Structure 1
């Protein structure tokens, strides 16, 4: 007989709640932040450049621009790509809203292309049919940390003279055909939210190998203001600057960047631990393969595993995703769902987007649950997740 579920009055798998994601901060991180707090610069100082250089070096990019958050990074990338009113940008629907909001910020129109049902990334075979004379860019999303099929995406982009803005918010440290994500697209965006591969509390970055894009990114971050003598109309003296475009205040602080630089020293260890936990999950859940599908990874991708998403085989279960989600929460397992397809949000419906335009994404959304995954999870935490999933699934199997 199956063990009674906590949601039905049974004993919980855990006494304490385990979040689906969490930052990993140690004493060295704290000390590096304190150094900045005691120093001369709290913002727009040397710690920002140090952090940018560290990330650029790690991924192999020539240039990096750190900004206040990942959404700001995407907005800056769309600006640098010249997205304007009337332009169209190809986007995956299986992502956080920022991946397409950034297009709207610039006056453009997101055009959603359905996902590959195996990788959950944008289906490259469906991109060209959505390209028009107004298409200016593609924003592929490296969902969960698995890298999109960049060779095919870049081939399409070159054919139609499009800019590729890779949304790698999940993928710092992931690899594509043995190369670190960050040099494989015209621009690559990273996020440093607390649950991401590393954190600056809030923060984002764009990396690129293109000097002109880099200059536009830097300009956009600081109100469109510059002191660059090659860009201003004239020079009245060393104090002089000009606003030459309409930018934003998207600066990141030295306090945040001190934390980010310290976190970068540990990123390989973080990713190693994430991969270890994913390996344990994959092995443990093999016995449930009639009821759940574990993540598929394409041969060209070596994911850093920002999140771990299982797909429920609902035709083999007695209940919907909602009941399974609530049962796992009752066991003190902090599951989540990533994501509602962007165009199903009310704001996008008001823009005229209709249900049914990306059927694979909509179907997947109804089936997925994100399990806890972060580097500070212990083996005991991991085992608790495994036992809770088994307990819930076995109780709800047909």
Structure 2
């Protein structure tokens, strides 16, 4: 690795929020209002997200994991039920199944898109299969048309974990308009942020009502849903729910951030164009693939360093880039390789493609506030250690 490369003095993270005065003012207005939580801004945010993606309903949660938990509850997942999902995801995509007593069944990835391989799904379906949780890794939508057809033919519920893909579209339709339930995340590294937060969008009224109850202790104050009514103060608990409510403070930030979503995505795509152009000539460096039907919203830009082309290991490359103040990351360790999952009986070798991917992948910085000079710095660093 060339010693002549001059590292920058401050860290360039792999992802970061971008807030402006409009965001701050939106939050201040709530702080000056009568409601800090369970107020009108939450519904405004839910409707804004639902309208953007083309869904009827939105139900906001404290975070994306809580939202996925709610989706599994609404889908009726329980002990003995199997749910197909990908191993190349954050822990929440399968943990949410465990929360309900179900069993995650991992299906290997397609080595071009890094999403769940639609060709492998049907072979994993059994009489115990209840649902599919398809994850849009890095912002690229799964082959949702094929997966939805498989789900319908086998009477399965399709949940789309779209934590990475708000604003993306597939075959002309926004992510959020396809699956039975779709989850978006609003963590600060995502496309828009509420600090922490998540949402489920759906067209299904039954799912919507269950989600509303689940995020608030399984409770209802709707007289039409009660078994009796002792008076205006009365409420009933119909299921074991949780306190997964988003605050109006968070929702206000989300309302303001949604106004900038399309601009954020456009900037992400501009950065990707620079990466694709300037990294294309490095032998053994595998750049992201774009499915012809998919229009990614580019949450992550992941490259793979094929070991036969480089004299340095992936770890050496990673640590060198970190030493040069480039906040590279690795997304993700296959879920079933975690010690907790091994205790449940999962083992290495279950999904060979996911494991092969994991051994070679590095995530490069990608967020709207990056300047062109930031992007070119990353390019120069990679070229200095690979060419």
User: Does TM, scored on the shorter chain, surpass 0.5?
Assistant: yes
- Whether 2:56 is the aligned partner of 1:56: answer no
Distance 2:13 2:176 in 1: 29
Secondary structure (helix, strand or coil) at the match of 2:224 reads coil
CA shift for structure 1 position 307: 0.6
- Whether 2:354 is the aligned partner of 1:376: answer no
Distance 1:213 1:62 in 2: 11
Would you identify which runs of 4 or more consecutive aligned residues in structure 1 move more than 2 Å?
Answer: 10-13
Distance 2:301 2:203 in 1: 31
Name the counterpart of 1:85. Answer: 79
Matches within 5 A, 1:120-135: 120-135=114-129
Q: List gaps (5 residues or longer) in structure 1.
A: 5-9
Name the counterpart of 2:290. Answer: 297
CA shift for structure 1 position 13: 3.1
CA shift for structure 1 position 3: 3.5
Give the conservation status (yes or no) of the 8 Å contact 1:291–1:393: no
Name the counterpart of 2:16. Answer: 22
Name the counterpart of 2:225. Answer: 231
Deviations along 1:289-346, one digit per CA (max 9) or x if unpaired, are x120100010010000001000111111112110000111111111000000000000
Name which of 249, 254, 259 aligns with 1:260: 254
Distance 2:202 2:366 in 1: 29
- Whether 2:320 is the aligned partner of 1:333: answer no
Name the counterpart of 1:193. Answer: 187
TM-score, normalised by the number of residues in structure 2 = 0.99
Aligned length: 387
- Whether 2:149 is the aligned partner of 1:155: answer yes
Q: List gaps (5 residues or longer) in structure 2.
A: none
TM-score, normalised by the number of residues in structure 1 = 0.96
Distance 1:55 1:108 in 2: 29
Matches within 5 A, 1:30-49: 30-49=24-43
Name the counterpart of 1:362. Answer: 355
- Cα RMSD (Å): 0.8
Distance 2:169 2:83 in 1: 25
Give the conservation status (yes or no) of the 8 Å contact 1:13–1:387: no
- Whether 2:311 is the aligned partner of 1:313: answer no
Distance 1:165 1:287 in 2: 38
Give the conservation status (yes or no) of the 8 Å contact 2:184–2:200: yes
- Whether 2:104 is the aligned partner of 1:106: answer no
Matches within 5 A, 1:201-220: 201-220=195-214
CA shift for structure 1 position 11: 4.7
Distance 1:76 1:3 in 2: 50
Secondary structure (helix, strand or coil) at the match of 2:228 reads coil
